[in-house]
Amino acid sequence: MVDSRRLGALVDRAQAENAQVILLGDKKQLAAIGAGRLGQDLDENGLIKTVQMDESLRQKTEYAKAIDAAMKVKDVRLALEIMAKAGKLVEVQDPEDRAKAMAKAYVEAEGAAREATGGKKGALAMTLTNVERQAVIREIRTLQKENGAIGREDHSFITRAPVALDAVTRKLAASYREGMVAIPSRTVGEIKAGSEARVTTVDTVKNTITLSSVDGKSEVLDARKSGNLMMYEERQTQLAEGEKITWLKSDNSEQGKFNRIKNGLSGTVEKIDGGTLTVKTKLGHTVQIQGENAYITNGQVSTGHKAQGATEHTGVLSVSAGDKLATENMLYVLTTRQTHDLVAFVDDKEKLIEALRPEMKASSLEEQKELLKALTEQLRATVEKEKAFVEGLKLTDSIEATMGGSELASDRQRRLEADNQAADSGAAKQQDQQHALQHQEKVQQQDHSAGMEM
Protein backbone atom coordinates (compact mmCIF):
# COMPACT_ATOMS: atom_id res chain seq x y z
CA MET A 1 0.00 0.00 0.00
CA VAL A 2 3.02 2.32 -0.11
CA ASP A 3 3.13 5.06 -2.74
CA SER A 4 6.12 6.08 -4.88
CA ARG A 5 7.22 9.00 -2.72
CA ARG A 6 7.26 7.05 0.55
CA LEU A 7 8.88 3.97 -0.96
CA GLY A 8 11.52 6.16 -2.58
CA ALA A 9 12.31 7.76 0.79
CA LEU A 10 12.47 4.31 2.40
CA VAL A 11 14.92 3.00 -0.19
CA ASP A 12 17.10 6.11 0.14
CA ARG A 13 17.19 5.64 3.92
CA ALA A 14 17.98 1.94 3.55
CA GLN A 15 20.89 2.69 1.22
CA ALA A 16 22.24 5.29 3.64
CA GLU A 17 22.01 2.78 6.51
CA ASN A 18 23.25 -0.16 4.41
CA ALA A 19 19.99 -1.95 5.28
CA GLN A 20 17.86 -4.50 3.50
CA VAL A 21 14.25 -3.76 2.55
CA ILE A 22 11.66 -6.55 2.56
CA LEU A 23 8.38 -5.73 0.80
CA LEU A 24 5.17 -7.58 1.66
CA GLY A 25 1.98 -7.05 -0.29
CA ASP A 26 -0.92 -8.48 -2.25
CA LYS A 27 -1.67 -6.85 -5.60
CA LYS A 28 -5.21 -8.27 -5.50
CA GLN A 29 -6.00 -6.08 -2.48
CA LEU A 30 -6.24 -2.31 -2.22
CA ALA A 31 -3.39 -0.20 -3.52
CA ALA A 32 -1.79 2.94 -2.11
CA ILE A 33 -3.90 6.08 -1.93
CA GLY A 34 -1.12 8.02 -3.67
CA ALA A 35 0.38 7.22 -7.07
CA GLY A 36 2.69 4.26 -7.18
CA ARG A 37 1.65 0.63 -7.74
CA LEU A 38 5.35 -0.06 -7.28
CA GLY A 39 4.92 -3.41 -5.54
CA GLN A 40 3.01 -4.75 -8.52
CA ASP A 41 5.42 -3.19 -11.01
CA LEU A 42 8.50 -4.59 -9.28
CA ASP A 43 6.92 -8.04 -9.21
CA GLU A 44 5.55 -8.14 -12.77
CA ASN A 45 8.73 -6.75 -14.34
CA GLY A 46 11.10 -9.05 -12.46
CA LEU A 47 13.02 -6.16 -10.92
CA ILE A 48 13.39 -7.80 -7.48
CA LYS A 49 13.58 -11.30 -6.12
CA THR A 50 10.01 -12.38 -5.36
CA VAL A 51 8.60 -15.22 -3.29
CA GLN A 52 4.94 -16.12 -3.85
CA MET A 53 3.03 -17.06 -0.69
CA ASP A 54 -0.07 -18.69 -2.15
CA GLU A 55 -1.22 -20.85 0.77
CA SER A 56 -4.22 -19.39 2.61
CA LEU A 57 -3.82 -19.73 6.36
CA ARG A 58 -6.70 -17.46 7.43
CA GLN A 59 -9.64 -19.49 6.11
CA LYS A 60 -10.52 -22.62 8.15
CA THR A 61 -13.79 -23.93 6.65
CA GLU A 62 -14.40 -25.32 3.15
CA TYR A 63 -16.95 -22.55 2.57
CA ALA A 64 -14.47 -19.79 3.42
CA LYS A 65 -11.68 -21.46 1.42
CA ALA A 66 -13.92 -21.79 -1.66
CA ILE A 67 -14.76 -18.06 -1.62
CA ASP A 68 -11.10 -17.17 -1.17
CA ALA A 69 -10.04 -19.42 -4.07
CA ALA A 70 -12.65 -17.89 -6.40
CA MET A 71 -11.68 -14.32 -5.54
CA LYS A 72 -7.97 -15.04 -6.01
CA VAL A 73 -8.64 -15.72 -9.69
CA LYS A 74 -11.14 -12.81 -9.84
CA ASP A 75 -14.11 -15.07 -10.49
CA VAL A 76 -16.67 -12.83 -8.81
CA ARG A 77 -19.64 -14.74 -10.19
CA LEU A 78 -18.41 -18.03 -8.74
CA ALA A 79 -17.72 -16.42 -5.33
CA LEU A 80 -21.23 -14.91 -5.17
CA GLU A 81 -22.83 -18.17 -6.34
CA ILE A 82 -21.01 -20.04 -3.56
CA MET A 83 -22.49 -17.60 -1.05
CA ALA A 84 -25.95 -17.82 -2.62
CA LYS A 85 -25.91 -21.63 -2.60
CA ALA A 86 -25.04 -21.55 1.10
CA GLY A 87 -27.89 -19.11 1.76
CA LYS A 88 -25.40 -16.39 2.73
CA LEU A 89 -26.05 -13.89 -0.10
CA VAL A 90 -28.97 -11.53 0.56
CA GLU A 91 -30.29 -9.07 -2.04
CA VAL A 92 -31.88 -5.95 -0.52
CA GLN A 93 -32.29 -2.93 -2.77
CA ASP A 94 -33.47 -0.32 -0.24
CA PRO A 95 -30.44 1.12 1.67
CA GLU A 96 -32.32 1.52 4.97
CA ASP A 97 -33.68 -2.02 4.83
CA ARG A 98 -30.21 -3.30 3.94
CA ALA A 99 -28.68 -1.49 6.94
CA LYS A 100 -31.25 -3.02 9.29
CA ALA A 101 -30.79 -6.51 7.85
CA MET A 102 -27.01 -6.23 8.06
CA ALA A 103 -27.17 -4.96 11.67
CA LYS A 104 -29.34 -7.92 12.69
CA ALA A 105 -26.99 -10.40 10.98
CA TYR A 106 -23.95 -8.80 12.64
CA VAL A 107 -25.40 -8.91 16.18
CA GLU A 108 -26.34 -12.58 15.75
CA ALA A 109 -22.96 -13.45 14.20
CA GLU A 110 -21.02 -11.57 16.89
CA GLY A 111 -22.71 -13.53 19.68
CA ALA A 112 -22.29 -16.88 17.93
CA ALA A 113 -18.63 -16.22 17.07
CA ARG A 114 -17.74 -15.17 20.63
CA GLU A 115 -19.36 -18.31 21.98
CA ALA A 116 -17.62 -20.54 19.41
CA THR A 117 -14.16 -19.10 20.08
CA GLY A 118 -14.40 -18.53 23.82
CA GLY A 119 -14.45 -14.77 23.26
CA LYS A 120 -11.24 -14.71 21.20
CA LYS A 121 -12.86 -13.85 17.88
CA GLY A 122 -16.05 -12.13 16.83
CA ALA A 123 -17.71 -10.74 13.72
CA LEU A 124 -16.48 -7.99 11.41
CA ALA A 125 -19.06 -5.80 9.66
CA MET A 126 -17.81 -3.97 6.54
CA THR A 127 -19.21 -1.32 4.21
CA LEU A 128 -17.76 0.69 1.34
CA THR A 129 -18.61 4.18 2.57
CA ASN A 130 -18.63 6.00 5.90
CA VAL A 131 -22.22 7.12 5.29
CA GLU A 132 -23.45 3.53 5.11
CA ARG A 133 -21.13 2.59 7.98
CA GLN A 134 -22.75 5.17 10.28
CA ALA A 135 -26.24 3.99 9.27
CA VAL A 136 -25.42 0.37 10.13
CA ILE A 137 -23.76 1.40 13.44
CA ARG A 138 -26.94 3.20 14.52
CA GLU A 139 -28.98 0.06 13.89
CA ILE A 140 -26.44 -2.18 15.63
CA ARG A 141 -26.29 0.03 18.75
CA THR A 142 -30.10 -0.10 19.05
CA LEU A 143 -30.08 -3.90 18.90
CA GLN A 144 -27.11 -4.19 21.28
CA LYS A 145 -28.87 -2.02 23.87
CA GLU A 146 -31.97 -4.19 23.60
CA ASN A 147 -30.05 -7.44 24.21
CA GLY A 148 -27.77 -5.94 26.87
CA ALA A 149 -24.54 -6.24 24.89
CA ILE A 150 -23.79 -2.57 25.61
CA GLY A 151 -25.05 -0.18 28.27
CA ARG A 152 -28.29 1.70 27.68
CA GLU A 153 -26.80 5.04 28.76
CA ASP A 154 -25.03 7.01 26.05
CA HIS A 155 -22.08 9.28 26.78
CA SER A 156 -21.43 12.01 24.24
CA PHE A 157 -17.92 13.08 23.22
CA ILE A 158 -16.37 15.31 20.58
CA THR A 159 -13.98 12.97 18.77
CA ARG A 160 -11.73 13.39 15.78
CA ALA A 161 -11.82 11.49 12.51
CA PRO A 162 -9.53 11.72 9.46
CA VAL A 163 -10.62 13.80 6.48
CA ALA A 164 -10.38 11.98 3.16
CA LEU A 165 -8.46 14.27 0.79
CA ASP A 166 -6.95 12.90 -2.39
CA ALA A 167 -3.88 14.25 -4.17
CA VAL A 168 -5.96 16.78 -6.12
CA THR A 169 -8.50 18.07 -3.58
CA ARG A 170 -5.89 18.60 -0.85
CA LYS A 171 -4.24 21.22 -3.09
CA LEU A 172 -7.40 23.36 -3.07
CA ALA A 173 -8.07 25.71 -0.16
CA ALA A 174 -11.81 25.19 -0.74
CA SER A 175 -11.39 21.60 0.54
CA TYR A 176 -10.59 22.86 4.05
CA ARG A 177 -12.86 24.32 6.70
CA GLU A 178 -12.15 26.51 9.69
CA GLY A 179 -11.83 24.43 12.83
CA MET A 180 -10.25 21.39 11.17
CA VAL A 181 -7.33 19.88 13.07
CA ALA A 182 -4.05 19.66 11.17
CA ILE A 183 -1.02 17.60 12.21
CA PRO A 184 2.05 18.22 10.02
CA SER A 185 4.40 15.31 9.41
CA ARG A 186 7.14 17.89 8.74
CA THR A 187 7.72 21.21 10.47
CA VAL A 188 5.72 24.08 8.95
CA GLY A 189 7.40 27.36 9.85
CA GLU A 190 7.26 27.51 13.65
CA ILE A 191 4.68 24.69 13.93
CA LYS A 192 6.62 21.55 14.77
CA ALA A 193 6.09 18.16 13.13
CA GLY A 194 3.60 16.01 15.06
CA SER A 195 2.03 18.93 16.93
CA GLU A 196 -1.64 19.88 16.65
CA ALA A 197 -2.84 23.02 14.90
CA ARG A 198 -6.20 24.30 13.69
CA VAL A 199 -7.29 25.80 10.42
CA THR A 200 -8.29 29.35 11.39
CA THR A 201 -8.61 30.98 7.96
CA VAL A 202 -9.37 29.69 4.47
CA ASP A 203 -8.59 32.03 1.56
CA THR A 204 -9.90 30.54 -1.68
CA VAL A 205 -8.72 33.55 -3.72
CA LYS A 206 -5.06 33.16 -2.75
CA ASN A 207 -5.54 29.38 -2.26
CA THR A 208 -4.04 29.52 1.23
CA ILE A 209 -4.97 28.22 4.67
CA THR A 210 -3.84 29.64 7.99
CA LEU A 211 -2.77 27.20 10.70
CA SER A 212 -2.67 28.22 14.37
CA SER A 213 -1.05 26.02 17.03
CA VAL A 214 -2.13 25.73 20.67
CA ASP A 215 0.84 27.85 21.77
CA GLY A 216 -0.22 30.76 19.59
CA LYS A 217 2.06 30.27 16.61
CA SER A 218 0.48 30.94 13.21
CA GLU A 219 1.53 30.05 9.67
CA VAL A 220 0.00 30.82 6.27
CA LEU A 221 0.36 27.81 3.97
CA ASP A 222 -0.15 27.51 0.23
CA ALA A 223 -2.72 24.72 -0.15
CA ARG A 224 -0.65 23.29 -3.00
CA LYS A 225 2.06 22.53 -0.42
CA SER A 226 -0.24 20.78 2.08
CA GLY A 227 0.90 17.25 1.23
CA ASN A 228 2.52 16.76 4.65
CA LEU A 229 -0.64 17.59 6.62
CA MET A 230 -2.83 14.96 8.25
CA MET A 231 -6.28 16.49 8.51
CA TYR A 232 -9.00 15.63 11.03
CA GLU A 233 -12.52 16.91 11.63
CA GLU A 234 -14.47 16.89 14.87
CA ARG A 235 -17.75 15.05 15.25
CA GLN A 236 -20.22 14.07 17.98
CA THR A 237 -19.79 10.42 19.00
CA GLN A 238 -22.08 8.43 21.30
CA LEU A 239 -20.41 5.70 23.34
CA ALA A 240 -21.70 3.23 25.91
CA GLU A 241 -20.04 0.80 28.30
CA GLY A 242 -19.36 -2.53 26.62
CA GLU A 243 -19.06 -0.89 23.19
CA LYS A 244 -16.32 -1.63 20.71
CA ILE A 245 -14.15 1.30 19.58
CA THR A 246 -11.38 1.74 17.02
CA TRP A 247 -8.43 4.12 17.14
CA LEU A 248 -8.10 6.38 14.09
CA LYS A 249 -4.58 7.60 14.83
CA SER A 250 -1.50 6.09 16.44
CA ASP A 251 -0.94 7.26 20.03
CA ASN A 252 2.66 8.47 20.33
CA SER A 253 2.45 9.22 24.05
CA GLU A 254 4.37 7.06 26.51
CA GLN A 255 1.19 5.12 27.33
CA GLY A 256 0.38 4.72 23.65
CA LYS A 257 3.82 3.42 22.75
CA PHE A 258 3.93 1.05 25.73
CA ASN A 259 0.49 -0.40 24.94
CA ARG A 260 1.09 -0.43 21.17
CA ILE A 261 -1.89 1.78 20.35
CA LYS A 262 -1.76 2.12 16.58
CA ASN A 263 -4.15 3.40 13.95
CA GLY A 264 -6.76 0.66 13.43
CA LEU A 265 -6.39 -1.00 16.84
CA SER A 266 -9.73 -1.95 18.39
CA GLY A 267 -10.80 -2.27 21.99
CA THR A 268 -13.84 -2.54 24.27
CA VAL A 269 -15.00 0.23 26.61
CA GLU A 270 -15.19 -1.40 30.03
CA LYS A 271 -16.08 1.72 32.00
CA ILE A 272 -16.97 5.36 31.47
CA ASP A 273 -16.30 7.64 34.43
CA GLY A 274 -17.02 11.25 33.53
CA GLY A 275 -14.76 11.98 30.59
CA THR A 276 -12.43 9.03 31.19
CA LEU A 277 -12.76 5.79 29.25
CA THR A 278 -11.27 2.55 30.55
CA VAL A 279 -10.61 0.44 27.44
CA LYS A 280 -9.34 -3.11 27.09
CA THR A 281 -7.52 -3.30 23.76
CA LYS A 282 -7.57 -6.26 21.41
CA LEU A 283 -3.95 -6.87 22.46
CA GLY A 284 -5.10 -7.44 26.05
CA HIS A 285 -3.88 -4.14 27.53
CA THR A 286 -6.11 -2.01 29.76
CA VAL A 287 -5.69 1.73 29.18
CA GLN A 288 -7.42 4.91 30.29
CA ILE A 289 -8.02 7.68 27.77
CA GLN A 290 -9.93 10.94 27.69
CA GLY A 291 -12.97 10.64 25.45
CA GLU A 292 -13.02 14.33 24.54
CA ASN A 293 -10.87 15.07 21.46
CA ALA A 294 -9.84 11.41 21.24
CA TYR A 295 -8.98 9.95 17.84
CA ILE A 296 -11.49 7.12 18.17
CA THR A 297 -14.78 5.98 16.63
CA ASN A 298 -17.50 3.36 17.14
CA GLY A 299 -15.90 0.07 16.16
CA GLN A 300 -18.82 -2.19 15.25
CA VAL A 301 -18.42 -1.52 11.51
CA SER A 302 -15.34 -0.82 9.37
CA THR A 303 -14.92 0.51 5.86
CA GLY A 304 -13.17 -1.75 3.39
CA HIS A 305 -9.95 0.25 3.61
CA LYS A 306 -9.92 0.03 7.40
CA ALA A 307 -10.72 -3.69 7.32
CA GLN A 308 -7.67 -4.58 5.25
CA GLY A 309 -5.44 -6.77 7.40
CA ALA A 310 -8.18 -7.63 9.91
CA THR A 311 -9.22 -11.20 10.76
CA GLU A 312 -12.42 -12.33 12.51
CA HIS A 313 -14.45 -15.52 12.81
CA THR A 314 -17.32 -14.16 10.68
CA GLY A 315 -17.49 -11.46 8.04
CA VAL A 316 -20.65 -9.46 7.33
CA LEU A 317 -20.46 -7.12 4.34
CA SER A 318 -22.60 -4.76 2.32
CA VAL A 319 -21.83 -3.62 -1.22
CA SER A 320 -23.95 -1.97 -3.91
CA ALA A 321 -23.39 -2.03 -7.65
CA GLY A 322 -23.67 1.73 -8.06
CA ASP A 323 -20.91 2.64 -5.61
CA LYS A 324 -17.76 3.98 -7.25
CA LEU A 325 -15.64 2.15 -4.64
CA ALA A 326 -17.03 -1.20 -5.77
CA THR A 327 -13.98 -2.74 -7.46
CA GLU A 328 -12.65 -6.28 -7.74
CA ASN A 329 -9.85 -5.41 -5.31
CA MET A 330 -12.30 -4.01 -2.75
CA LEU A 331 -14.56 -7.08 -2.97
CA TYR A 332 -11.52 -9.32 -2.58
CA VAL A 333 -10.71 -7.56 0.71
CA LEU A 334 -14.31 -7.68 1.96
CA THR A 335 -14.78 -11.38 1.20
CA THR A 336 -11.52 -12.69 2.71
CA ARG A 337 -11.40 -11.31 6.28
CA GLN A 338 -13.23 -14.29 7.82
CA THR A 339 -11.83 -17.54 9.16
CA HIS A 340 -15.12 -19.46 9.15
CA ASP A 341 -18.25 -17.72 7.89
CA LEU A 342 -19.35 -14.89 5.61
CA VAL A 343 -22.69 -13.17 4.96
CA ALA A 344 -23.05 -10.65 2.13
CA PHE A 345 -25.77 -8.05 1.53
CA VAL A 346 -26.01 -6.62 -2.01
CA ASP A 347 -28.55 -4.54 -3.89
CA ASP A 348 -28.47 -6.61 -7.09
CA LYS A 349 -26.14 -9.55 -7.71
CA GLU A 350 -26.15 -9.41 -11.52
CA LYS A 351 -25.66 -5.65 -11.66
CA LEU A 352 -22.82 -5.96 -9.16
CA ILE A 353 -21.03 -8.55 -11.30
CA GLU A 354 -21.36 -6.28 -14.36
CA ALA A 355 -20.29 -3.15 -12.48
CA LEU A 356 -17.17 -4.52 -10.79
CA ARG A 357 -13.93 -3.44 -12.43
CA PRO A 358 -10.23 -3.82 -11.67
CA GLU A 359 -8.73 -1.13 -9.48
CA MET A 360 -6.83 1.22 -11.79
CA LYS A 361 -3.85 2.90 -10.20
CA ALA A 362 -1.28 5.31 -11.55
CA SER A 363 2.01 3.54 -12.13
CA SER A 364 5.24 5.47 -11.72
CA LEU A 365 7.07 2.81 -13.72
CA GLU A 366 4.62 3.06 -16.64
CA GLU A 367 4.97 6.84 -16.63
CA GLN A 368 8.76 6.46 -16.81
CA LYS A 369 8.40 3.94 -19.64
CA GLU A 370 6.19 6.36 -21.59
CA LEU A 371 8.69 9.17 -21.01
CA LEU A 372 11.56 6.94 -22.15
CA LYS A 373 9.56 5.92 -25.22
CA ALA A 374 8.94 9.57 -26.15
CA LEU A 375 12.61 10.45 -25.69
CA THR A 376 13.64 7.45 -27.79
CA GLU A 377 11.32 8.52 -30.60
CA GLN A 378 12.77 12.03 -30.44
CA LEU A 379 16.30 10.68 -30.60
CA ARG A 380 15.44 8.39 -33.52
CA ALA A 381 13.90 11.27 -35.47
CA THR A 382 16.99 13.42 -34.83
CA VAL A 383 19.30 10.63 -36.02
CA GLU A 384 17.24 10.19 -39.19
CA LYS A 385 17.48 13.92 -39.93
CA GLU A 386 21.26 13.84 -39.39
CA LYS A 387 21.58 10.88 -41.72
CA ALA A 388 19.54 12.64 -44.41
CA PHE A 389 21.68 15.76 -44.04
CA VAL A 390 24.91 13.77 -44.37
CA GLU A 391 23.58 11.94 -47.44
CA GLY A 392 22.66 15.31 -48.95
CA LEU A 393 26.20 16.60 -48.40
CA LYS A 394 27.66 13.49 -50.03
CA LEU A 395 25.40 13.93 -53.04
CA THR A 396 26.38 17.60 -53.38
CA ASP A 397 30.08 16.75 -53.13
CA SER A 398 29.64 14.13 -55.84
CA ILE A 399 27.92 16.59 -58.18
CA GLU A 400 30.60 19.22 -57.53
CA ALA A 401 33.35 16.71 -58.24
CA THR A 402 31.67 15.65 -61.47
CA MET A 403 30.89 19.15 -62.80
CA GLY A 404 33.99 20.80 -61.50
CA GLY A 405 31.38 22.78 -59.57
CA SER A 406 32.88 26.06 -58.42
CA GLU A 407 29.52 27.75 -58.90
CA LEU A 408 27.74 24.97 -57.01
CA ALA A 409 30.32 25.20 -54.25
CA SER A 410 29.72 28.94 -53.97
CA ASP A 411 25.96 28.36 -53.85
CA ARG A 412 26.43 25.73 -51.13
CA GLN A 413 28.57 28.15 -49.12
CA ARG A 414 25.88 30.81 -49.36
CA ARG A 415 23.21 28.36 -48.13
CA LEU A 416 25.35 27.30 -45.17
CA GLU A 417 26.00 30.94 -44.23
CA ALA A 418 22.25 31.69 -44.44
CA ASP A 419 21.45 28.68 -42.23
CA ASN A 420 24.02 29.82 -39.65
CA GLN A 421 22.60 33.34 -39.60
CA ALA A 422 19.06 31.96 -39.08
CA ALA A 423 20.28 29.74 -36.22
CA ASP A 424 22.07 32.70 -34.58
CA SER A 425 18.94 34.81 -34.92
CA GLY A 426 16.78 32.05 -33.38
CA ALA A 427 19.19 31.63 -30.46
CA ALA A 428 19.18 35.36 -29.80
CA LYS A 429 15.40 35.45 -29.92
CA GLN A 430 15.17 32.49 -27.51
CA GLN A 431 17.61 34.22 -25.14
CA ASP A 432 15.49 37.40 -25.23
CA GLN A 433 12.38 35.32 -24.39
CA GLN A 434 14.16 33.68 -21.45
CA HIS A 435 15.21 37.11 -20.08
CA ALA A 436 11.59 38.32 -20.41
CA LEU A 437 10.23 35.24 -18.60
CA GLN A 438 12.78 35.62 -15.79
CA HIS A 439 11.80 39.28 -15.37
CA GLN A 440 8.09 38.33 -15.32
CA GLU A 441 8.66 35.61 -12.67
CA LYS A 442 10.63 38.08 -10.52
CA VAL A 443 7.74 40.61 -10.68
CA GLN A 444 5.19 37.85 -9.80
CA GLN A 445 7.29 36.73 -6.82
CA GLN A 446 7.47 40.32 -5.56
CA ASP A 447 3.68 40.70 -5.96
CA HIS A 448 3.09 37.37 -4.16
CA SER A 449 5.40 38.36 -1.27
CA ALA A 450 3.61 41.67 -0.93
CA GLY A 451 0.25 39.84 -0.85
CA MET A 452 1.47 37.45 1.86
CA GLU A 453 2.63 40.36 4.04
CA MET A 454 -0.79 42.01 3.72
Boundary-marking domain end, from 239, 264, 285: 239
Q: Are residues 374 and 409 in the same domain?
A: no
The percentage of the chain sitting over the pLDDT mark of 70, rounded to a whole number, equals: 81
Domain contains 148: no
Q: Are residues 388 and 434 in the same domain?
A: no
Helix (H, G, I), strand (E, B) or coil at 266: strand
Please compute the mean of the pLDDT values over residues 359-386 and round it to a whole number: 69
pLDDT digit string (tens) for 166-209? 778 889 999 999 999 999 988 888 899 889 999 999 999 999 99
- Mutual orientation of helices 62-72 and 76-85 as an angle, nearest 10°? 160
Q: How far apart are CA 423 and CA 110, in angstroms?
A: 79
SS3 298: strand
pLDDT of 134 reads 94
Do 442 and 393 belong together in one domain?
no
Q: Are residues 372 and 414 in the same domain?
A: no
- The answer to whether 105 touches 316, Cβ cutoff 8 Å, is yes
- Supply the range of the domain harboring residue 180: 155-239
| 218: CATH | 2.30.30.30
- Tell me which of 350 and 453 has the higher pLDDT: 350
Among 178, 212, 239, identify where a domain stops. Answer: 239
382 and 450 together in one domain: no
Same domain assignment for residues 200 and 227:
yes
One domain, residues 383 and 451: no
Question: pLDDT confidence of 214, banded at 50, 70, 90?
Answer: confident
Instruction: Confirm if 159 and 296 have CB atoms less than 8 A apart.
Output: yes
Higher per-residue pLDDT: 406 or 447: 406
Which has more pLDDT, 395 or 367? 395
What average pLDDT does range 48-54 have in this prediction?
Answer: 81
**pTM for the complete prediction?**
0.69
Asked if residue 345 belongs to a domain, the reply is: no
224 belongs to a structural domain: yes
Q: Is residue 376 part of a domain?
A: yes
Distance, in Å, from the CA atom of 313 to the CA atom of 297, rounded to the nearest integer, reads 22
Instruction: Report yes or no on 273 lying in a domain.
Output: no
What pLDDT is stored for residue 453 in this prediction? 37
Residues 232 and 159 in one domain: yes
> Does residue 29 lie within any of the structural domains?
yes
pLDDT tens digits, 118-164: 988 999 999 998 899 999 999 999 999 999 999 999 999 999 999 98
pLDDT above 90 covers a percentage of the chain that reads 53
pLDDT on residue 207: 94
DSSP SS3 for 270: strand
Residues 164 and 219 in one domain: yes
Domain count, the chain: 4
Average pLDDT over the chain reads 84
- Shared domain for 383 and 430, answered yes or no, is no
The SS3 call for residue 235 is strand
Instruction: For residues 167 and 221, state if they share a domain.
Output: yes
- Would you state the pLDDT for residue 173? 93
Q: Is 320 exposed, middle or buried (CB count within 10 Å of its CB: 0-12, 13-18, 19+)?
A: buried
The burial class, CB within 10 Å (0-12 / 13-18 / 19+), for 184 is buried
Q: What is the pLDDT of residue 444?
A: 46
Domain co-membership, 411 together with 431: yes
User: For residue 451, what pLDDT is reported?
Assistant: 40
Tens of pLDDT, residue by residue over 23-38, are 887 777 766 655 567 7
Does a structural domain hold residue 187? yes
* Strand ranges, E, within 310-448: 312-319, 338-346
pLDDT single digits (tens) 76-118: 999 999 999 999 999 999 999 999 999 999 999 999 999 999 9
**295 domain-assigned:** no
Q: How far apart are CA 52 and CA 381, in angstroms?
A: 43
Residue 58's φ and ψ, nearest 5 degrees, are -75, -50
